[in-house]
């Protein structure tokens, strides 16, 4: 059986497993660990009203290290407004169709600094770390949301050396911390890589955590990268609003694709 036929059989089996839920968008054969096999499968993305907004094409998948995998994408804007943010979940599978992580990895492509204009295409690479990365032969995506320039105010640069809200200096984020008396939190999910998520519904406990986050001082951008140590807090408010704060590891705050040091 030649290699082309083996790859086709692998993809056919994976498609049967995930059809109707997520879309297979790539495969890697039995080549060197850093080799990339190109493919042209794509997913269509819609805005909040269900109108076509963009196409996300996966151009390649490669394992760079034992626990690191990189996926290359091309995003094309089909709408009438500039795109500012794309979010989706990603899963990786081995040749037998097994989910290598057991849960979706949340991915965000932030475009606020340079919005993707109507008709424009742009290439991206997103890297993730997890056990078994070199076993991955396919990646599956599930779109979560697409935002355009009308839905978000102008992007503002972070301001290192300040407390969290002043550091972020971005209205959609800072608004989540306002009016907590009128719009209190009803749930917090605490996630840490390699551990079971913890759900908290005690309002006083959640407010205490929010206050602790507000009092964090964020420093300069860091060149440190830590694997499998991610921490996140996801909040649900009384009016249904959801928002989160993420860290690559204790002491490393994630903000729109970059990592900054937590001073204290």
% of the chain with per-residue pLDDT over 90 = 23
Question: Taking 60 as the threshold, does the pLDDT of residue 224 lie above it?
Answer: yes
Question: Taking 80 as the threshold, does the pLDDT of residue 259 lie above it?
Answer: yes
The pLDDT-based confidence of 206 (bands split at 50, 70, 90) is: very high
Q: Which of 27-36, 78-87, 195-204 has the lowest mean pLDDT?
A: 27-36
CATH fold for domain 3-148: Immunoglobulin-like (2.60.40)
Residue ranges of the chain that CATH labels 2.60.40.3230: 3-148
pLDDT at 22: 30
Question: Taking 50 as the threshold, does the pLDDT of residue 9 lie above it?
Answer: no
pLDDT at 1: 43
Q: What's the DSSP call for residue 118?
A: T
CA nearest neighbour of 84 among 92, 75, 72: 75
Ranges of beta strands (E only) in the chain are 23-24, 42-46, 52-65, 68-77, 83-93, 105-110, 121-129, 138-148, 162-163, 185-192, 198-200, 217-221, 231-237, 242-249, 252-255, 258-262
Question: Taking 50 as the threshold, does the pLDDT of residue 37 lie above it?
Answer: no
Q: Which residues contact 88 (CB under 8 A, 6 or more apart)?
A: 56, 107, 141, 142, 143, 144
pLDDT at 191: 87
CA distances from 177 to 18, 167, 172, 174, 245 (A): 38, 14, 10, 6, 12
Give the residue with greater pLDDT, 100 vs 120: 120
Question: Taking 80 as the threshold, does the pLDDT of residue 43 lie above it?
Answer: yes
**Backbone dihedral region of 240: left (phi > 0), alpha (psi from -120 to 50 degrees) or beta?**
left
Task: Give residue-wise pLDDT tens across range 226-242.
Answer: 766 788 898 998 988 77
Question: Taking 60 as the threshold, does the pLDDT of residue 225 lie above it?
Answer: yes
Task: Give residue-wise pLDDT tens across range 142-168.
Answer: 777 777 766 566 678 899 999 999 999
CA dist., res. 52 & res. 80, Å (int)? 10
pLDDT mean across residues, the chain: 76
């Amino acid at each position: 059986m030649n290699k082309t036929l083996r790859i086709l059989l692998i993809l056919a089996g994976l498609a049967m497993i995930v059809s109707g839920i997520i879309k297979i968008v790539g495969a890697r054969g039995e080549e060197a660990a850093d080799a990339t096999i190109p493919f042209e499968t794509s997913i269509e993305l819609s805005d909040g009203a269900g109108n076509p907004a963009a196409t996300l094409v996966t151009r390649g998948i490669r394992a760079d290290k034992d626990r690191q995998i990189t996926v290359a994408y091309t995003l094309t804007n089909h709408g009438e407004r500039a795109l500012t943010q794309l979010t989706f979940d990603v899963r990786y599978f081995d040749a037998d169709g097994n989910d290598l992580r057991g849960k979706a990895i949340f991915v965000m492509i932030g475009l606020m600094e340079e919005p993707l204009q109507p008709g424009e295409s742009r290439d991206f690479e997103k890297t993730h770390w997890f056990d078994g990365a070199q076993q991955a032969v396919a990646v599956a995506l599930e779109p979560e949301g697409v935002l355009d320039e009308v839905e978000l105010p102008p992007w503002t640069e972070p301001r290192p050396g300040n407390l969290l809200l002043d550091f972020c200096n971005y209205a959609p984020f800072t608004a989540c911390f306002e009016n907590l008396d009128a719009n209190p939190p009803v749930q917090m999910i605490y996630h840490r890589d390699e551990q079971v998520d913890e759900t908290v519904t005690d309002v006083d406990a959640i407010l205490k955590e929010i206050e602790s986050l507000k009092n964090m001082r964020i420093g300069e951008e860091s060149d440190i990268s830590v694997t499998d140590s991610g921490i996140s807090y996801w909040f649900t408010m009384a009016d249904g609003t959801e928002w989160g704060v993420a860290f690559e590891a204790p002491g490393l705050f994630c903000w729109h694709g970059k990592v900054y040091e937590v001073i204290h």
